[in-house]
Amino acid sequence: MRFQFLSALSSVAIVTVTASWTKNINYRSPSEHHPSLGISIHKVVKRNDPTSPWDPAKLHFTHGVASGDPYPESVILWTRVSPTSDNDHSNVTVSGYAKLFNHDTEEYVSVSKAPVCVEYKIACDEELAEVADSGTVYTSSDVDYTVKVEAKNLKPFTTYYYQFNVCKSDNKSPLGRTKTTPKADDDITKVSLAVYSCANFPFGFFNAYGNSVRKDSVDYVIHLGDYIYEYANGEYGWGQSIDRIPLPDKEIFSLYDYRKRIATYRTDLDLLASHQQFAWIPVWDDHEVADNTWRDGSAELNNTEDSFVRDGGVSVDQRKMHAVRAYFEWMPIRQVDMDDNLRIWRSFSIGKLVDLVMLDTRQYDRSITDLYWNTDYIHSISNDASRSLMGPRQESWFYNTLSASAERGATWRLIGSQIVFSHTNLSLGLGDENPLNYDAWDGYQVNRNRTLAMLYDNAIGNNIFLAGDSHASWVSDLVWLGEKPYDSATGEGSIGVEFAGSGVTSPSPAGANVTLDKANAFAQWIVAANPEIHWQDMYYRGYYELHIGHDELEAQFFGLPTVVSRNGWEIPIANFTVRSGENRLARPVAGGVVESGSLKGGKVEQGNVTVDTRNGTWFVSHADLAVL
C-alpha cells in the first residue's frame, strides 16, 4: 500500500526505478496491503548507493535456483544471492546493517544492508540465446537475500531454461529448467506429475526427490507439505548418526529460525536438483509451522501466557507469521491474493485434461484439531455440523472451483489435500476407543460430507484426491460410507479415487524401524477392516507418479529401500489405473499383484527379497530394485 501510494504520487523517473524493486515479489509478500507485514520498499531504495555497488566476488548464489506455480505464459523463478550463507536476523538488526553469523569465526558480523542487484534471463535453449524474458531486480537482507520474480511472455506447455547473475558480472547462478502449463483450452494428450510429502531432514536423505530427476519422468512436481519440520534434532530424528542436523539445532520459533531451517533443508543435493529441474506446485501442511496446527494453535502451543513464556515470547500468531513469511521468501510460489497473507489455496488448469486444486486444510482456518491431550473431546465433536478444515471462504471457493471445472469439461479433477480424505479405521482390532485419525478428514466429517454431497449431487466425476501427511501409502475408492451404497468388489457407488503417498523420509506410523513383516501385518489388518481401502503399505518411504491421459490415469508408487545414505535406489511397489468415467480403481486393482503392503483380493509378490548391505547400508532388497 505504502509503495503504491508513493509511486502514484511520484514522477515517472521514480516509477521506472521502483519497477525493478517491486519485481522481487518477496518485497510485497506476505502482504503488500498490510504495511506491518510487508517491506517498506522506499526505505530499501534509500539504502542503495549506485556509486558503490557490491563487489560481485563477495556475493554467492547460496541455495541454487527454483521455479514454480507455472501458468501458460509465466512462471515463478527463485534464487538467493547473499554475502554469506547464513540467514538474516531481522529482529536484531541495527540501522543500515544486517547481523549475520560467521561460522568460521563463530561470531556475528555486520554486513552492509545495501541492496544487491541481480539480472535474470529465461530462454528456450540451454545456451540462453533465444531469450523470452529478462530483467533487473534487487534483493537485500530484508527478505533474507531471496529473489522471486515472475518470468513472463512465455509460450504454453514449453520447457525453458533460466539463470540469474549479479548485475554486470559473470557471477552466475546454476542453470535452471522449468516448464509452463498448457492453456486451459489446449487439447494436450498427456501430463505427468510426481507427488511428494513429509521430508524430515534428520531422518534421512531426500533420495525420493532426486529419483524423478534422474529418470526425468515428469512434467511438474506436486508437494503436499511437511517440506520442513520444526523440531530440534534431539526431539525427533537421528541426525547425529547421519550428519544431518537441522539448524538451528533447537525447536524453531523466530523468523530467523524458520529461514535457517528451510535453508538447511535446501542443502540436500536431491532437493536442490529437483528444484533446479522441475517447476514445483507446493502447499504447506502443519510442520511448516508446527505439529498439528489449526487456526489458533498447535499441539505444542496453546494460545496462553504459559505457552508464550515457554516459547521465548512468541505467540501463536507471531510464530505463524514468521513461518509464513519465511515460506513465501523461500518457496517458488505465487501469492494469489495479496490481501490475504495466509492464502496459499489456489488452482491450476492443465489444458483440457486436468484441473489441479491445491487446498490448505491446515493453517488457514481449521477448527480445533487433535492436540493429543484432547483426543476424546475431538472424537466427541468429530461429527459436529460446525466443523471445517478450510473455513467458509476456502470451502465455497473449493466447491465453486469443482463445479467450474466440471462445467468447462476438464477431464480430471485432482485435489491436493494435505491429510488423508478417506475414512480410515486404525483400531487394528484392539478395540481402541479412538480408532480414527482425528487430525485428518475423519475429525471433520461434516466437511467431508459437504465435499461428497457436492460431487454426488452434481454428478461431478473423475475426482482424484491426493494426500500426504501420514508417512504411509493408502489407495482407496472415494466413497460416502453410510450414505451412498458402495460395492467393494466392483467399486460401484464410488465417485473417484484417493492416492495417499508415503513420506520422503518421515518414519512409518508403525514405528521408525518397523520390520517388513510387522509392517505388512498392519497393512493386512487395515485393508481387511476398511471396505474402500484397496492397497496399503506401511513399510516404504517414497513417492508416486501420476501419468495422466484423457482415457486413463496411471499411478505408480515407488518405495525407497533405505534413506540413511544418499542413493538412487527404488522399487516399483504398486501400479493403479483409473479409467475415465469409471470413478473407481480399475479391476483387478493393481493388476492383482503388488510388491509390498497388502492388496485387497490380490497378491503380494515381493520377488526375491534379500538383505542387502550395499555400500555399508542395510536394507531389504527386491529382485527389481532399480539403481538410478
Ligand X SMILES: *[C@@H]1O[C@H](CO)[C@@H](O)[C@H](O)[C@H]1NC(C)=O
Q: How far is CA 392 from CA 172, 286, 378, 395, in A?
A: 46, 20, 20, 5
- CB 481 → ligand X: shortest distance, Å? 6
- CB 154 → ligand X: shortest distance, Å? 32
Binding piece for ligand X, criterion CB under 6 A, among 250-258, 287-295, 359-367, 458-466: 250-258
Q: Does 529 bind ligand X (CB under 6 A)?
A: yes
- CB 77 → ligand X: shortest distance, Å? 28
Q: Does 48 bind ligand X (CB under 6 A)?
A: no
Q: Does 595 bind ligand X (CB under 6 A)?
A: yes
Q: Does 386 bind ligand X (CB under 6 A)?
A: no
Q: Are 136 and 20 in contact (CB under 8 A)?
A: yes
Binder among 153, 403, 515, 610 for ligand X (CB under 6 A):
610
In this complex, which beta carbon is closest to ligand X, that of residue 173 or of residue 577? 577
Beta-strand (E) ranges in 104-185? 107-112, 116-123, 131-139, 146-151, 159-166, 176-179
Q: Does 614 bind ligand X (CB under 6 A)?
A: yes
CA distance 507 to 541: 7
Binder among 159, 217, 488, 575 for ligand X (CB under 6 A):
575
* DSSP secondary structure letters along 102-125: ETTTTEEEEEE-PPEEEEEEEESS
In this complex, which beta carbon is closest to ligand X, that of residue 52 or of residue 513? 513
210: three-class secondary structure by DSSP: helix
Beta-strand (E) ranges in 214-311? 220-223, 279-282
In this complex, which beta carbon is closest to ligand X, that of residue 303 or of residue 403? 303
Cell numbers representing residue 587 in the block: 479391476
- CB 371 → ligand X: shortest distance, Å? 7
Chain-centroid distance, C-alpha 70: 15
Q: Which residues on neighbouring strands pair with residue 500, listed in sequence order?
A: 467, 474
Q: Are 608 and 622 in contact (CB under 8 A)?
A: yes
Residues in 132-191 at the binding interface with ligand X, rule: CB under 6 A:
none
Q: Are 44 and 125 in contact (CB under 8 A)?
A: no
Q: Does 446 bind ligand X (CB under 6 A)?
A: yes
Cell numbers representing residue 447 in the block: 466437511
Binder among 51, 52, 95, 241 for ligand X (CB under 6 A):
241
Site map for ligand X, 53-92, x if CB under 6 A? Answer: ------------------------------------x-xx
Closest among 375, 583, 429, 400 to 498, alpha carbons compared? 583
Closest among 615, 458, 609 to 540, alpha carbons compared? 609
Q: Does 385 bind ligand X (CB under 6 A)?
A: yes
- Residues contacting ligand X: total by CB under 6 A: 44
Q: Does 307 bind ligand X (CB under 6 A)?
A: yes
Residue partners of 240: CB distance under 8 A and separation at least 6: 233
Q: Does 245 bind ligand X (CB under 6 A)?
A: no
In this complex, which beta carbon is closest to ligand X, that of residue 117 or of residue 199? 199
In this complex, which beta carbon is closest to ligand X, that of residue 288 or of residue 537? 537
In this complex, which beta carbon is closest to ligand X, that of residue 288 or of residue 300? 300
Q: Are 347 and 414 in contact (CB under 8 A)?
A: no
Which backbone phi and psi does 338 adopt, to 5 degrees? -70, -10
CA distance 356 to 572: 25
In this complex, which beta carbon is closest to ligand X, that of residue 312 or of residue 601? 312
Q: Which residues of 124-158 are buried (b: 16+ CB within 10 A; e: fewer)?
A: beeebeeebbebebbbbbbbbbbbbbbbeebebbe
In this complex, which beta carbon is closest to ligand X, that of residue 184 or of residue 426? 426
Cell numbers representing residue 582 in the block: 469409471
Q: Does 608 bind ligand X (CB under 6 A)?
A: yes
Q: Does 192 bind ligand X (CB under 6 A)?
A: no
Q: Does 308 bind ligand X (CB under 6 A)?
A: no
Angle between helices 2-9 and 12-22 (to 10 degrees): 150
Binder among 392, 409, 482, 485 for ligand X (CB under 6 A):
482
Binding piece for ligand X, criterion CB under 6 A, among 134-142, 331-339, 422-430, 533-541: 422-430
Q: Does 435 bind ligand X (CB under 6 A)?
A: yes
Q: Does 269 bind ligand X (CB under 6 A)?
A: no
Kind plus residue range of the DSSP H or E element containing 610: strand 610-612
Q: Does 373 bind ligand X (CB under 6 A)?
A: yes
> Grid cell 485387497 — which residue?
600
Q: What share of the chain is helix, strand, coil (3-state, %, to 5)?
A: 25, 25, 50
Binder among 21, 160, 256, 345 for ligand X (CB under 6 A):
256
- CB 193 → ligand X: shortest distance, Å? 16
Q: Does 94 bind ligand X (CB under 6 A)?
A: no
Binder among 462, 567, 583, 598 for ligand X (CB under 6 A):
567
Q: Does 488 bind ligand X (CB under 6 A)?
A: no
Cell numbers representing residue 456 in the block: 454426488
- CB 508 → ligand X: shortest distance, Å? 11
Q: Does 235 bind ligand X (CB under 6 A)?
A: no
In this complex, which beta carbon is closest to ligand X, that of residue 50 or of residue 485? 485
In this complex, which beta carbon is closest to ligand X, that of residue 65 or of residue 255? 255
- CB 520 → ligand X: shortest distance, Å? 15
- CB 611 → ligand X: shortest distance, Å? 9
In this complex, which beta carbon is closest to ligand X, that of residue 104 or of residue 243? 243
Cα dihedral: 466, 469, 475, 481 (round 10):
-90
Residue partners of 532: CB distance under 8 A and separation at least 6: 422, 423, 476, 477, 478, 479, 481, 486, 488, 494
Q: Does 574 bind ligand X (CB under 6 A)?
A: yes
In this complex, which beta carbon is closest to ligand X, that of residue 157 or of residue 205? 205
- CB 486 → ligand X: shortest distance, Å? 11
Q: Are 194 and 271 in contact (CB under 8 A)?
A: no
Q: Does 613 bind ligand X (CB under 6 A)?
A: no
Binding site for ligand X (CB under 6 A): 89, 91-92, 238, 241, 254, 256-257, 300, 302, 306-307, 312, 373, 383, 385, 425, 427, 429, 435-436, 445-446, 449, 482-483, 512-513, 529, 556, 564, 567, 572-575, 591, 594-595, 608, 610, 614-615, 627
